[in-house]
């Protein structure tokens, strides 16, 4: 009947935000004096006299003149010096008529250092929503009448909103690696965050795309829409992740994935090496360029000295060419206008810890450009 939200941070650079103060929180400030509205808090702490002897001392009751001590299992929350300062500054409260047995501490609302509250570890459904309500939200939004089409465990938009309030700020980038029904992206979009959602299942077509279309067009007025005054806007791009360019053979060596044909390989290498893919009709070795005189040529063949000499002559003195090939048999220093790299090594050198890099070749799926034109920095 309950869920867990596990929180991790990569470093101390990330700090959690405070949550907005709920309206009911101010009801605690039910007392008032010449300084302003205040609430009271316990003047003792959960320490015994043996544990904190410096916090175990008598306080003189202002009405009776008698000594007041905390119970034996507790001590005062403040030292003698702090207590004297509290007395001088009027922070001690002895009840409405000054007849309370022990003092309380006055906490004035106007002295709050911030207007937020520290997030608690227990979030009730009144605060964060619940799965049944989330399922109904998605069903209504997608106009689904069949239970078999329901997403089994959608998260409430209210829950994701509270998480994003604590963990992020407007403009931050939110990543959901298991997008499911698209709740995280929808909420992030409405809250002015950038977002990336990843989904390998059919939910991308059946749930996420229809949902985000309604969010962008302002038709989604459920979830948190009214509370954030969401009226629609923005856009996104939809990519299909390409297969890994490299794979290991039976001997553990990195080789080019056979999934890639010549054109796919050239386009992927151009993107990965920082070139614009633009095959030339005149020169087979002009497959992409970075400047007007810098070009790239990608081939799965092994190049001989004679082949490199012919290419070098065609490139000429005023142009340069980066050659990415399977192998070469020549002294590369003999061709100053050529830079020769073996494809697997060239890619692995750009991959963190020699891991495969899946970011270099993305093919945009067909989409209605007018409906999903990029109007803000959403991904």
* Mean pLDDT, residues 293-297: 96
Confidence of residue 114 (pLDDT cuts 50, 70, 90): low
- Contact of 33 with 24, CB cutoff 8 Å: no
- Contact of 43 with 139, CB cutoff 8 Å: no
Q: Tell me how far CA of residue 63 lies from CA of 71, 218, 248, 372, in angstroms.
A: 20, 64, 85, 73
Say whether pLDDT at 169 is over 50: yes
Confidence of residue 269 (pLDDT cuts 50, 70, 90): very high
Q: What is the DSSP letter of 188?
A: H
- Residue 30's pLDDT is what? 87
Strands 116-117 and 173-176: what pairing?
A: unpaired
Say whether pLDDT at 22 is over 70: yes
Strand (E) or helix (H) holding 309? helix 305-315
Say whether pLDDT at 131 is over 60: yes
Confidence of residue 150 (pLDDT cuts 50, 70, 90): low
Report which of residues 153 and 326 the model is more confident about.
326
Which of 141-145, 146-150, 170-174, 333-337 shows the lowest per-residue confidence on average (mean pLDDT)? 146-150
- Residue 229's pLDDT is what? 95
Taking the alpha carbons at both ends of the chain, their separation in whole angstroms is: 34
Backbone torsions φ then ψ of 342, nearest 5 degrees = -75, 135
pLDDT tens per residue, range 202-243: 888 889 999 999 999 999 999 999 999 999 999 999 988 888
Report which of residues 275 and 29 the model is more confident about.
275
Q: What is the DSSP letter of 365?
A: P
Indicate left, alpha or beta for 138 from its phi (over 0: left) and psi (-120 to 50: alpha). alpha
pLDDT tens per residue, range 236-259: 999 888 888 888 888 888 888 888
- For the chain, percent of residues with pLDDT exceeding 90: 56
Say whether pLDDT at 2 is over 80: yes
Say whether pLDDT at 65 is over 60: yes
Report which of residues 120 and 366 the model is more confident about.
120
pTM of the model: 0.59
Say whether pLDDT at 82 is over 90: yes
Q: How far, rounded to the nearest angstrom, does the alpha carbon of residue 90 sit from its chain's CA centroid?
A: 46
pLDDT tens per residue, range 157-166: 999 999 999 9
- Residue 358's pLDDT is what? 40
């Amino acid at each position: 009947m309950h869920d867990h939200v596990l929180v991790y941070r990569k470093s101390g650079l990330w700090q959690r935000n405070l949550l907005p103060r709920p309206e009911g929180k101010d009801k605690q400030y039910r007392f008032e004096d010449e300084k302003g509205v205040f609430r009271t808090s316990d003047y003792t702490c959960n320490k015994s006299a043996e544990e904190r002897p410096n916090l175990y001392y008598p306080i003189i009751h202002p009405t009776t003149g008698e000594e007041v001590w905390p119970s034996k299992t507790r001590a005062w929350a403040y030292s003698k010096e702090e207590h004297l300062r509290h007395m001088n500054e009027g922070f001690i409260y002895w009840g409405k008529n000054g007849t309370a047995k022990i003092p309380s501490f006055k906490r004035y609302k106007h002295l709050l250092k911030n207007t937020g509250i520290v997030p608690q570890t227990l979030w009730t459904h009144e605060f964060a929503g619940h799965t049944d309500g989330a399922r109904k939200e998605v069903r209504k939004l997608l106009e689904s009448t069949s239970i078999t089409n329901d997403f089994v465990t959608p998260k409430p938009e209210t829950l994701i909103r509270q998480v994003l309030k604590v963990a992020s700020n407007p403009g931050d980038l939110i990543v959901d690696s298991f997008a499911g029904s698209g709740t995280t992206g929808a909420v992030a979009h409405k809250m002015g965050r950038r977002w990336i959602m990843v989904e390998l299942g059919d939910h991308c077509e059946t749930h996420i795309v229809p949902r985000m279309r309604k969010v962008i067009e302002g038709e989604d007025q459920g979830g948190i829409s009214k509370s954030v005054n969401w009226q629609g806007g923005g856009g996104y791009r939809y990519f299909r992740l390409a297969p890994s360019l490299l794979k290991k053979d039976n001997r553990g060596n990195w080789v080019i994935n056979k999934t890639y044909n010549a054109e796919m390989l050239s386009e992927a290498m151009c993107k990965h090496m920082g070139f614009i893919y633009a095959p030339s009709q005149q020169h087979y070795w002009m497959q992409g360029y970075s400047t007007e005189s810098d070009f790239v040529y990608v081939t799965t063949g092994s190049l001989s000295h004679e082949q490199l000499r012919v290419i070098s002559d065609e490139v000429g003195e005023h142009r340069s060419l980066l050659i990415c090939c399977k192998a070469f048999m020549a002294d590369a220093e003999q061709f100053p206008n050529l830079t020769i790299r073996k494809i697997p090594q060239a890619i692995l050198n750009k991959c963190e810890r020699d891991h495969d890099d899946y970011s270099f070749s993305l093919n945009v799926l067909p989409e209605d450009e007018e409906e999903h034109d990029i109007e803000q920095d959403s991904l």
